[in-house]
Amino acid sequence: MFIRATSTLAQETPQPESKPLAKLQEVMIPVRDGVHLQTVIITPLDQKEPLPILFRRTPYGVPDKPPEQMPASTKELAQDGYIFVIQNLRGRFKSEGVFNLSSQVDLKDPKATNETTDAYDSIDWLVKNVPNNNGKVGMMGVSYDGLTTAMTLLHPHPALKAISEQASPVDQWMNDDDHRYGALRESYDFEYAVMEQSDKNKNTHFEFETYDTYEWYLNLGPLSNINAKYLHGSIPYWNSTIDHPDYDDFWKKEAWVNQLHASTVPNLNVAGFWDQEDPWGPWQIFRHAEESDPDHTNFIVAGPWFHGEWRTPKADSIGPIPFGGHETAREFRENIEAPFFRYYLHGVGQKPTWQASTFQTGSNTWRTYAIWPPKEAKLTKLYLHADGTLSFSAPNATGKAYREYVSDPANPVPYRQRPISPTYPAGDWRTWEVADQRFVDHRPDVLTFVSEPFDHDLTVTGPLAATLFASTSGTDSDFVVKLIDVYPQDTQKNAWNPEEGPKPGQYAQSLNSYELPIAMEVRRGRYLESFENPHALTPNQPIEWNVPLRNHDHVFLKGHRIMVQIQSTWFPLIDRNPQKFVPSIYKAVASDLVPATQRIYCSAEMPSHLVLPVMP
């Protein structure tokens, strides 16, 4: 237990009573099926004129008293004047009904209730019942709150004039929180499901018996032991995950974004390049809304952030990586988010003149693009060579055909340095995607390819991808691809001090030869041809593996090198592929997990490569 120390002086000195900045009212808003949703309305004390409503819907709880100081995350918005409304989703805390941890929407069923209909009904009640509102409503939120914001796009209330979905998931089997193209994100999916569904009135963390969760998941054995030994069927969402290993109707109904085909409400999508939970969803919402956007009201902002870091006070760094003096979170809120809502809800200022705005890493500069991806980006192949090098020249016909390694599920590659703390409460989970990858580059089951140092800056802007030609001696397999920016060596005496020094309580960490991940992804062999109908791989037969690496905007600076790492386990972030085909990995037994020899081909006939959108 941690006890917060209080100084003797602080205990003896009378403290002035803090005064609330606003008044808070709690109401129970009725929705169409008779359920009432717990909602708090926070109104400025000095409100003199009608104000717009800024609405957030959450499963995480609502405040029970008005704020005594303005949080950094809403300071810039509050200066413009809003009535803030926060609502607990059905089945959470005091809200009535059942919480399903589901994003299914059936717009054809007039009796169906879901997050889209609950938002519609709540907005209708708010504009009719909250005194002194101007009839305009905005919505915003991060993660699950971003999901409930984004789902209003399927059937928006006429009073909803602008939203900002931030890090919203859209398809939990294809990507985002729970899977990566069908490969289960074991530790996160399990720990989040327990937190959300073990008790409706609080967020409960799973109690691990071991300090290192890598060890706990390894000792657990096959995934079936989670229910057999611990949950005993008590967590509905975990049961659904285990019951639906493939991309069946259950997951397709969860993929609400497939019903979105137009920009129906002005939307400021927000994504983090190092978002460890929902890096994919905002880009998919952006793309689906772009199918019909005649008024050009569909925007995206992407920055150098972990999940929700743009809501922290500054975001002047991520882990040990500084942003050149920029306070990217404050700059985003001050220069992009607040003006967006100011224009659409207050009628002040101007509409954004760009489609995409990014904080470009490497150069540490804000950029705007009239269209995304920018048309001037040239798709360029970066080839893997069997001698462990990377170059923009294709392999020749005389070189070695492949490199190989043995992948053993009994000794999986950790996804971050051990000991690995639990996902919740969030600690180093937030920044593992920028962790120095030297902690695995000595392992014999991790292949490393590296370029020569660049003699000029190399800028990549747009979607990245990898194409591997690979084989396995087994009948199923995973391949993980990591694109890494390798910092130059610095032999100066001060090389152990990063640009801005360590934060309080942290040790100084050198960026000397630091291996910074830019993009990382996994593909599962059983789903290469069909997500719905998995099939076994043919042992030792090379086939093409296409690995999307998402959207990025990064400069590999002069003197830096590009590295690619390839491995077949990423544990316990991704569940272990048995490497022997079984009908469902979730029902595999210990004897199904077998070592396999993996080959990556680097020949003229089978040239494994990355595709980089290189800017001139």
Largest Cα–Cα distance in the chain?
82
Dist. CA 147–CA 19, nearest whole Å:
34
pLDDT tens digits, 392-442 = 999 998 878 999 999 999 999 999 999 999 998 767 899 999 999 999 988
Residue-level pLDDT at 97: 96
Give the model's pLDDT for residue 21: 84
Domain edges within the chain: 17-170+255-369, 378-489+510-614
Give the pLDDT of residue 201.
59
Q: Rounded CA gap, 380 and 612, in Å?
A: 5
Mean pLDDT of 334-339: 98
Express as a percent the part of the chain with pLDDT over 90: 84
Give the CATH number of domain 17-170+255-369: 3.40.50.1820
Full-model pTM: 0.93
Looking at residue 9, its pLDDT comes to: 30
**Cα separation of 57 and 85, whole Å?**
8
Q: E strands, 222-266, where?
A: none
DSSP-derived pairing of the beta strands 83-88 and 133-142:
unpaired
Q: What are phi and psi of 338, to 5 degrees?
A: -60, -45
Task: Pinpoint the alpha helices (H) of 333-432.
Answer: 338-341
Query: What's residue 426's pLDDT?
Result: 62
User: Mean pLDDT, the chain, as a whole number?
Assistant: 92
State the pLDDT at residue 399: 75
Model confidence pLDDT, tens digit, residues 156-215: 999 999 999 999 999 999 999 999 999 999 999 999 888 878 765 556 788 899 999 999
Residue 508 has pLDDT above 60, yes or no: no
Residue 15 has pLDDT above 80, yes or no: no
Task: From residue 472, give the alpha-carbon distance in Å to each of 346, 363, 576, 593.
Answer: 59, 40, 15, 14
Query: How does pLDDT run across 535-572, given as a tens digit for each residue?
Result: 999 999 999 999 999 999 999 999 999 999 999 999 99
pLDDT at 10 over 80: no
Task: Determine the Cα–Cα distance for residues 550 and 392; give it in Å rounded to an integer.
Answer: 21
Verify cis geometry, omega within 30 degrees of 0, for the bond prior to 373: yes
Q: For residues 194 and 232, is the Cβ–Cβ distance under 8 A?
A: no
The domain defined by 378-489+510-614 folds into Jelly Rolls (2.60.120)
Mean pLDDT of 123-135: 98
Residue 397 is predicted with a pLDDT of 85
- For residues 552 and 464, the answer to whether their CB atoms sit within 8 Å is yes
Q: Is pLDDT at 465 greater than 50 in this prediction? A: yes
Judged against a pLDDT cut of 80, whether residue 153 lies above it is answered with: yes
pLDDT of 60? 94
**Which residues lie across from 439 on neighbouring strands?**
none
Please state, for a pLDDT cut of 70, what percent of the chain lies above it.
93
Contacts of 5 (CB under 8 A, 6+ apart): none
pLDDT of residue 12: 42
